[in-house]
Amino acid sequence: MGGTAGFKRAITEQIPCPVVIVIYNRPDCAARLGDVIRLLPLSELVVVADGPRPTIEDRELCRQTRAVVESIDFSYPVRRLYADQSMGIARRIPEAISTVLEQSEAAIVLEDDCIPSASFFRFCVALLQAHADNEQVMMISGINPLGEWRHGEADYLFSTLGHAQAWATWRRAWRHFEPGTSGWADPVARNAVARFVDDPEQFERRCQIYGTPMSERSWDFQWAFHRQRRHGLCAVPCRNLVTHRGGDPRATNNRLPRVLDQLTDAGELSFPLTSPEAMVPDRVFDRMVFEATVGPLTLASAKVIATRLIDRGQPGRALVLLQLIGREIALDAEARRLLAGALESSRRRGP
């Protein structure tokens, strides 16, 4: 899109709902995101920040991060929701989202380690409008962790999952959010989640998360639980729209970079969007995301994903994936054959 200036050409109509950015103690991340956000025709920007932890270093970094955002000359209203003391993100982020949605029907939310493409905002606005009254859809995510994954001719798919680092939702969906996952003790809720994910291994992973200290520390796990128990779908673009580099030692939760992060730079979509023919989750997509993101990427998962990428006409991405995993794990004969095939296909396709 020709750098940040492309946003002015790509987005000409005012974004009708608030855009919420979540910052904390990373001035460089806040500066990069602010450089993008300032070019948008927003109706309102909401800046959310948790309070610093009780250390001199954290207090100074939080002060610098807030100062970076406050130094940007935004051309639209800016509301700041700053906490004076550390609440923890499990409280701070959902409370801020609730505050915003008390006054607005919908909102777009971005964490500070995300850099969106121009299509991300158009995608969110289009689907917020298209599914405004559709109770089956509870979330829109701009992150496709596989980089690209087409669902027929559609420009987006539906998933039982959903990455909540660059996303959007409605008041009517968020009203189902509750702090914690105590409802997991209810057999009815567990059975509902099991039917929705429809995969024993994925359900077992939910059992390891929901109702445990892990979910109590992570608001996005809590949000996932309340969506899944209600069979709420997440709309995901066929092409990733957000560069997310969450693997950062300064991050609050995810401090380790994932291999797939290297495959998922932000791309663009063509508009108007083509919708899926049916409102059902793409089970193959969900399975691939599960295998690729639940833990360290295994060689077995890498081979499955690389095969899918080659079959879908994306040998270049398969090549990058296998080269990356090969730096960490010795490739077996099958993986080497895939690597050679991906290399040859990429050469035939040309630059």
As a whole number, mean pLDDT of residues 116-127 equals 96
How high is the pLDDT of residue 304? 80
How high is the pLDDT of residue 351? 55
As a whole number, mean pLDDT of residues 74-84 equals 97
Flag whether pLDDT at 77 surpasses 80: yes
As a whole number, mean pLDDT of residues 243-266 equals 56
How high is the pLDDT of residue 350? 66
Task: Report pLDDT digits (tens) over 277-316.
Answer: 999 999 988 988 887 777 556 788 788 888 877 887 888 8
As a whole number, mean pLDDT of residues 251-266 equals 54
How high is the pLDDT of residue 121? 97
How high is the pLDDT of residue 2? 43
How high is the pLDDT of residue 95? 98
Taking each helix axis from N to C end, the angle separating 187-197 and 219-228, rounded to the nearest 10 degrees, works out to 80
Structure tokens at 72: 């940007």
Flag whether pLDDT at 246 surpasses 80: no
The 10 Å Cβ neighbour count of residue 331 is 17
Task: Report pLDDT digits (tens) over 1-35.
Answer: 445 555 655 677 899 999 999 999 999 999 999 99
**Domains in the chain: boundaries:** 296-351
How high is the pLDDT of residue 253? 45
Task: Report pLDDT digits (tens) over 140-195.
Answer: 999 998 888 877 899 999 999 999 999 999 999 999 999 999 899 999 999 999 99
Task: Report pLDDT digits (tens) over 33-45.
Answer: 999 999 999 999 9
Cβ density class 246-285: b for 16+ within 10 Å, e for less: beeeebbeeeeebbbbebbebbbbeeebebbeeeebbeeb
More confident residue, 248 or 185: 185
How high is the pLDDT of residue 250? 45
pLDDT level of residue 125 (50, 70, 90 thresholds): very high
